[in-house]
């Protein structure tokens, strides 16, 4: 079997045991004579999977009783719009602007009310708490916890006083155990750390959900999903099934504490390789803002970057091309990427730098 070392930015590599389980169960799910995706979403078999996935999320993310866990659709892009649609309603919200995806959220919010930029940084860093100019009357504060394209990450939970904090955690959800109580709403597409694309995980405070507008279409209200255990309409059953498998794998290896230890080790190895060859590789993000999920770097020239990606791919190291908007190299080292995968990449980087001086 030839599985590559997968550094894709999302959709991204999934843990092999989660895929193997799906393979075993694909044709005949638990002796029912059909695949889980052929089951009714109102039947017992699927309901078991659905509830187990929700319960595992609650357990692994440490979600308190004050918060709902929801499965929604439309990707993080739908959340860019649904958050202001539900909670802005002509008021003003604070957005922390740190990259391409925060810009996406900002543009959608402008359709529903006023947007204040509480802080803005370039691609090299995220702002410190002391740089946040927050409006105490804001409807909410929106932050992108990890900037997937730029490779920067918040290493603190912003303090917003009493103002509800909303976070796009699409690219770092459960990279470690989050402090859920600090957030009014967390959203994340599953396709980086938790499963395939097609399902969005939302963790939202119950009273915040209840405060949402009721004069918008039902399918766009968080309260609809909360009241129906995320079974208001047909959910993406197979995607949720795979999320269940991924969460079960996470639990079996030791849960978020072990995942965090591996993630920190992977990031340490990769940044050490960059810093150790600073005459060749350039890591543009400031040390304090470096992402533990998306490691972004440059080579001495674009031609060398192109060659790096091509040669790496031939060596079984896939998905290293930077986002098309910024170029360069990006190694995404989400939860399913192993320490061994990263060691292989580091070995390749050292050899490439030795062999390919400009």
Site for ligand PMP, rule CB under 6 A:
10, 75-77, 101, 144, 148, 168, 170-171, 189
262 counts as catalytic:
no
- Given a contact cutoff of 8 angstroms between Cβ atoms, the answer to whether 103 and 125 are in contact is no
Nearest-CB residue for ligand PMP: 75
- Given a contact cutoff of 8 angstroms between Cβ atoms, the answer to whether 97 and 106 are in contact is yes
- Report the residue number, 46 or 101, with the smaller CB distance to ligand PMP: 101
Catalytic one among 94, 168, 172, 341? Answer: 168
Instruction: Name the token pair of 241.
Output: 């099934």
Strands 294-297 and 329-332, sheet pairing? antiparallel
Strands 5-6 and 317-318, sheet pairing? parallel
Phi/psi at 141 (5° precision):
-115, 130
CB 195 to ligand PMP: min, Å: 12
Burial class (CB in 10 A: 0-12, 13-18, 19+), 165: buried
CB 333 to ligand PMP: min, Å: 14
- Report the residue number, 277 or 323, with the smaller CB distance to ligand PMP: 323
CB 9 to ligand PMP: min, Å: 6
Catalytic one among 101, 175, 249, 262? Answer: 101
CA–CA separation, 148 and 291 (whole Å):
8
CB 144 to ligand PMP: min, Å: 5
CB 101 to ligand PMP: min, Å: 4
- Report the residue number, 248 or 291, with the smaller CB distance to ligand PMP: 291
**First-residue to last-residue Cα distance in the chain:** 37
- Report the residue number, 196 or 299, with the smaller CB distance to ligand PMP: 196
- Given a contact cutoff of 8 angstroms between Cβ atoms, the answer to whether 184 and 140 are in contact is yes
CA–CA separation, 63 and 69 (whole Å):
8
Q: At 202, which helix (H) or strand (E)?
A: strand 200-205
DSSP 164: P
CB 300 to ligand PMP: min, Å: 28
- Report the residue number, 15 or 196, with the smaller CB distance to ligand PMP: 196
- Report the residue number, 110 or 214, with the smaller CB distance to ligand PMP: 110
Catalytic one among 192, 249, 266, 321? Answer: 192
Helices (H), 217-281: 222-227, 237-252, 255-276
Which positions are catalytic?
A: 101, 168, 192
């Amino acid at each position: 079997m030839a599985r590559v070392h997968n550094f894709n930015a999302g959709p991204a590599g999934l843990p092999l045991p989660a895929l193997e389980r799906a393979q075993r169960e694909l044709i005949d799910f638990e002796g029912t004579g059909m695949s889980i995706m052929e089951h009714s979403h109102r039947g017992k078999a699927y309901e078991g999977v659905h509830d187990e996935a929700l319960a595992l999320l609650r357990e692994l993310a440490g979600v308190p009783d004050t918060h709902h866990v929801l499965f929604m659709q439309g990707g993080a892009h739908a959340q860019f719009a649904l958050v202001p649609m539900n909670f802005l309603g002509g008021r003003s919200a604070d957005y922390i602007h740190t990259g391409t995806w925060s810009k996406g959220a900002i543009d959608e919010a402008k359709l529903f009310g006023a947007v204040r930029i509480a802080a803005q940084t370039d691609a090299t860093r995220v702002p410190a708490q002391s740089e946040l100019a927050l409006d105490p009357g804001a409807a909410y504060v929106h932050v992108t916890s990890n900037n997937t394209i730029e490779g920067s990450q918040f290493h603190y939970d912003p303090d917003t006083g009493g103002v509800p904090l909303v976070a796009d955690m699409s690219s770092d959800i459960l990279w470690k155990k989050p402090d859920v109580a600090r957030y009014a709403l967390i959203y994340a597409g599953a396709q980086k750390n938790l499963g395939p694309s097609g399902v969005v995980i939302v963790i939202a405070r119950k009273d915040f959900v209840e405060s949402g507008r009721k004069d918008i279409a039902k399918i766009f209200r968080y309260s609809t999903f909360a009241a129906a255990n995320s079974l208001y309409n047909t959910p993406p059953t197979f995607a949720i099934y795979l999320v269940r498998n991924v969460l079960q794998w996470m639990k079996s290896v030791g849960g978020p504490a072990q995942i965090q230890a591996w993630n920190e080790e992977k990031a340490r190895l990769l940044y050490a390789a960059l810093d150790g060859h600073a005459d060749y590789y350039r890591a543009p993000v400031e040390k304090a803002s470096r992402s533990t999920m998306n490691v972004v770097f440059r080579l001495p020239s674009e031609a060398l970057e192109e060659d790096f990606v091509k040669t790496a791919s031939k060596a079984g190291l896939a998905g290293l091309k930077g986002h098309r908007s910024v170029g360069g190299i990006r190694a995404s080292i989400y939860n399913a990427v192993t320490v061994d995968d990263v060691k292989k990449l580091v070995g390749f980087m050292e050899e490439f730098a030795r062999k390919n001086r400009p």
